[in-house]
Structure 1
Amino acid sequence: MTRPLKQIHLAAHFPGVNNTTVWSDPASGSHIDFASFVHFAQTAERGKFDFMFLAEGLRLREQNGQIYDLDVVGRPDTFTVLAALAAVTDRLGLTGTINSTFNEPYEVARQFASLDHLSEGRAAWNVVTSWDAFTGENFRRGGFLAESERYTRAESFLAAAHTLFDSWQEHAIVADKDGGRFLADPRAGEFTYTDQHFDISGRFNVPRSPQGRPVIFQAGDSDRGRDFAAAAADAIFSRHSTLEAGRQFYADVKDRLPAFGRHRDDLLILPAATFVLGDTDAEAAEIAHEVRLAQVSPQTAIKFLEQLWNRDLSDHDPDGPLPSVDPVVGENTIARGRASVRMYRDPVATANEWRARAEAENLTTRELIIEVTGRQNFIGSASTVAEQINDLVQADASDGFILVPHVTPAGLDPFVDTVVPLLQERGVFRADYTGSTLREHLGLAENGSR
């Protein structure tokens, strides 16, 4: 029996603290001006996307003791931006990254419940953790939480927030005959939550929101992070987006769900992906090459190199071979506030892998960095890109993609104008919204179960 075609989920990521944006492109605009956020969000909504996504950095990154200014430096507060966007969009989901290490459950739950009311049910929360004392200094908590405890606190934080969201669940506000309003049950909003991280009790002051709870996203890739997602998340923001890696990640996480009393369809896998479009595949490939050169300038290549080597390499030639010296093992003191350095669990082994690849493919330092820092790219004509996306989703390498354009804010426009209609013609992407809340867009029940 042939399986019905899966419906593709699409979302858009307003580029955050990264080197995605090609600043030299004449179309590149501000990452702070509200008009940029409006253009981006309204384009995603015109394309009938599920949601737009905002990442967030809690401290300006540094490298070699200086502010890292080769890409996005800083950006306005996530809640403020999303609340403003709720007023200029009607159906688009609004997803924000909010930290569970340096915040408190009551405050975050109140903000998300408020956003869900303001947007009429379109709020989502990407739950993240922080491990570094450098970021913690902004909160006077530098080094207070060991890395091994970050998911324990995140689990407690989310459970406490759910207690707050649900504190109005069985209670209603009703109107009397004189037009007044009163609580049908005076216990509405009462809550108590106690564990090793939180001991809170009181009364939650935001009535139950349209979705009940915001949609929960998770982006961790460790074994503990995957378990956290399988237990509590509605969707995963994944970095595994090629066919083989995507299918392995997809199967691994889906197989974890039964242990937490959940079904395979209770969790969506949504990798991030960039794209480059052209009139032909050959033209798109040429544009993609120029984009990568712009994203990884000689200066950027050296900065990426320093993040692995953990030493000052400012005198290194980006057009020469990789350094002959090995990385400095231990705490990374060169790059601060950048989570990606934690991916290098064995820096020396990674450096040797890079050397072997550079030698085998005759790559300079910059060319090698371009290769190893590349994200999943959809490159080709609109027809080719539509086929690539559909093939990966139907092969269970993902349930859809979170697209990250290299030009802000107008970089999403060509995809919406050319690729989306082709997916709609294939019958794998909605022609229009059929629901009003983000949970409805994603096929999720009110409290997170299908």
Structure 2
Amino acid sequence: MSKPLKQIHLAAHFPGVNNTTVWSDPASGSHIDFESFVHFAETAERGKFDFMFLAEGLRLREQGGEIYDLDVVGRPDTFTVLAALAAVTERLGLTGTINSTFNEPYEVARQFASLDHLSDGRAAWNVVTSWDAFTGENFRRGGYLAEDQRYQRAESFLAAAHVLFDSWRGDEIVADKVGGVYLADAAAGSFTHSDAHFDIGGRFNVPRSPQGRPVIFQAGDSDHGREFAAAGADAIFSRHGTLEDGQAFYADVKGRLAKYGRRDDQLLILPAATFVLGDTDAEAADIAHDVRLAQVSPQTAIKFLEQLWNRDLSDHDPDGPLPSVDPVVGENTIARGRASVRMYRDPVATAREWRARAEAEGLSSRELIVEVTGRQNFVGSAQTVAERIDHLVQADASDGFILVPHVTPGGLDPFVDQVVPLLQERGTFRSDYEGTTLRDHLGLSVPAGAVGAASAV
């Protein structure tokens, strides 16, 4: 008996200005004006996507003490944008990245429960940690946590948030017969949670939301991150978008679920994916080449080289060969404030690999950076891209993809207009929404302990 076709999950990531974005393209618009977010969200909803995804940056990235061309001045608050988008969309899920290292469970749980109410059950939380002391300077606690401590705090943070979400059973709101005012019974919202990281107790003041709990995403790729996702996440925002790499990641993470009493279909694997479309595969390849050159300017190439070499290379010729000196090993003085984590496990060995490749292929420094930082997952005609996406999902390399266009906000339009209809014709992507909540779109049930929305009677 043949294996039944899997249904593809599609989502869209609204990127900030970074090396996946061609901000210099004449078609590129604002990354902060609300109309850009509206256009992007409405396009995703027109394409029947599961959700729209917002990343979060708690501080502008710097290198050598200066803001550089991989970031943008102006990054709106995630909750503000998603709450506003809830009013101009009807079915599209709204996913926000919120840090567990520098926030508090009560505040974050309250914000997500509120968003779930405002959107009628379309909220999702991408739980991330931060190793960055540079970012930590923005917060009272400051500093950074080692990897194991970051994930311990994240696990405690999520456990505390679940206690808060579940503190309303769903049947605790009654109507005041006289004044028409809704009142809660004595047990409503009562909670306590105590562990090594949090010791909280009181009353949670947001009633049970439509999904019971928002959908939980996780984006870490370390062993700690994979275990954290297997234990409690609903979906993983992954970087493993090729066949062999994707299949290995898929099997590894899904294989961890059983020990937590979970089934394979209770955790979705959704890699980020870029795309370049053309009328033919050859035309798309030409466009993709131009896009990569625009994404890696000469200045950007130098910044990437400095991250590996850990030394000032501002006088280096990006159109010449790679630096002949070896990287400086030890504390990272270029990626300021990020001394706790190295960008590369063995910088000297990586530099040797880069030099060997550059020599073999006749690549300049910039051309080498273009090759090693390439993120173009799907390049070709609409037919080629649709076939490739379907193949990867059916081959268990993923459950779908979170698409990252290189132009904002209109870069998603060609995919929705050209590729989505072909996936619908193949019978592997919905022609319309069948439910109203994000859990409906993702095929996820309400977790045990979260028994549904509160109702007024």
Distance of 1:337 and 1:136 partners within structure 2: 9
* Paired amino acid for 2:74: G
Cα 1:383/1:375, change in 2 over 3 Å: same
TM score, norm. by length of structure 1: 0.97
Cα 1:341/1:323, change in 2 over 3 Å: farther
Q: Tell whether the 8 Å contact from 2:174 to 2:185 is kept in structure 1 after alignment.
A: no
Q: Tell whether the 8 Å contact from 2:131 to 2:340 is kept in structure 1 after alignment.
A: no
Q: Which residue of 2 aligns with 1:354?
A: 354
Q: Which residue of 1 aligns with 2:259?
A: 259
What's the secondary structure of 1:216's corresponding residue? strand
Q: Which residue of 1 aligns with 2:453?
A: none
What's the secondary structure of 1:58's corresponding residue? coil
What's the secondary structure of 1:109's corresponding residue? helix
Cα 1:317/1:184, change in 2 over 3 Å: closer
* Paired amino acid for 1:406: H
What's the secondary structure of 2:363's corresponding residue? coil
Q: CA deviation at 1:352?
A: 1.6
1:399-441 deviations in whole A, cap 9, x for unaligned? 0000000000000000000000000000000000000100000
Distance of 1:331 and 1:124 partners within structure 2: 37
Matched, 1:216 2:216: yes
Q: Which residue of 2 aligns with 1:103?
A: 103
Distance of 2:373 and 2:203 partners within structure 1: 47
* Paired amino acid for 1:83: A
Q: Which residue of 2 aligns with 1:146?
A: 146
Q: Which residue of 2 aligns with 1:430?
A: 430
Q: CA deviation at 1:183?
A: 4.3
Cα 1:247/1:414, change in 2 over 3 Å: same
Distance of 1:414 and 1:172 partners within structure 2: 47
1:123-157 deviations in whole A, cap 9, x for unaligned? 00000001121111100323253333000000000
Cα 1:57/1:323, change in 2 over 3 Å: same
Distance of 2:186 and 2:3 partners within structure 1: 50
Q: Tell whether the 8 Å contact from 1:307 to 1:341 is kept in structure 2 after alignment.
A: no
What's the secondary structure of 1:256's corresponding residue? coil
Q: CA deviation at 1:172?
A: 2.4
- How many residue pairs align between the two structures? 450
Distance of 1:74 and 1:233 partners within structure 2: 30
Identical positions, percent: 85
Matched, 1:85 2:91: no
Distance of 1:300 and 1:62 partners within structure 2: 12
Matched, 1:446 2:446: yes
Q: Tell whether the 8 Å contact from 1:57 to 1:74 is kept in structure 2 after alignment.
A: no
Q: Which residue of 1 aligns with 2:125?
A: 125
Q: Which residue of 2 aligns with 1:136?
A: 136
Cα 1:73/1:325, change in 2 over 3 Å: farther
Q: CA deviation at 1:176?
A: 4.9
1:67-126 deviations in whole A, cap 9, x for unaligned? 123443431000000000000000000000000000000000000000000000000000
Q: Tell whether the 8 Å contact from 1:171 to 1:185 is kept in structure 2 after alignment.
A: no
Q: CA deviation at 1:327?
A: 1.3
What's the secondary structure of 1:131's corresponding residue? coil
Distance of 2:221 and 2:340 partners within structure 1: 12
Distance of 2:283 and 2:338 partners within structure 1: 34
What's the secondary structure of 1:236's corresponding residue? strand
Q: Which residue of 2 aligns with 1:16?
A: 16
What are the within-5 Å matches in structure 2 for residues 156-305 of structure 1?
A: 156-178=156-178, 180-183=180-183, 185-305=185-305
Distance of 2:178 and 2:73 partners within structure 1: 55
Cα 1:423/1:179, change in 2 over 3 Å: farther
Matched, 1:49 2:49: yes
* Paired amino acid for 2:154: A
What are the within-5 Å matches in structure 2 for residues 375-394 of structure 1?
A: 375-394=375-394
Cα 1:421/1:342, change in 2 over 3 Å: farther
TM score, norm. by length of structure 2: 0.95
Distance of 1:167 and 1:214 partners within structure 2: 14
Cα 1:223/1:284, change in 2 over 3 Å: same
Q: Which residue of 2 aligns with 1:400?
A: 400
Q: CA deviation at 1:259?
A: 1.4
Q: CA deviation at 1:342?
A: 4.2
Q: Which residue of 1 aligns with 2:323?
A: 323
Q: Tell whether the 8 Å contact from 1:120 to 1:437 is kept in structure 2 after alignment.
A: yes
Q: Which residue of 1 aligns with 2:455?
A: none
Distance of 2:251 and 2:126 partners within structure 1: 22
RMSD: 1.8
1:190-248 deviations in whole A, cap 9, x for unaligned? 00000000000000000010001110000100001100000010000000000010000
Q: Mark the runs of 5 or more structure 1 residues left unpaired by the alignment.
A: none
* Paired amino acid for 2:372: V
1:313-363 deviations in whole A, cap 9, x for unaligned? 111111111111111122322124779974412212221221222122221
Q: Tell whether the 8 Å contact from 2:60 to 2:73 is kept in structure 1 after alignment.
A: yes
Distance of 1:396 and 1:147 partners within structure 2: 29
Q: Tell whether the 8 Å contact from 1:234 to 1:448 is kept in structure 2 after alignment.
A: no
Distance of 2:125 and 2:302 partners within structure 1: 34
Q: CA deviation at 1:303?
A: 0.5
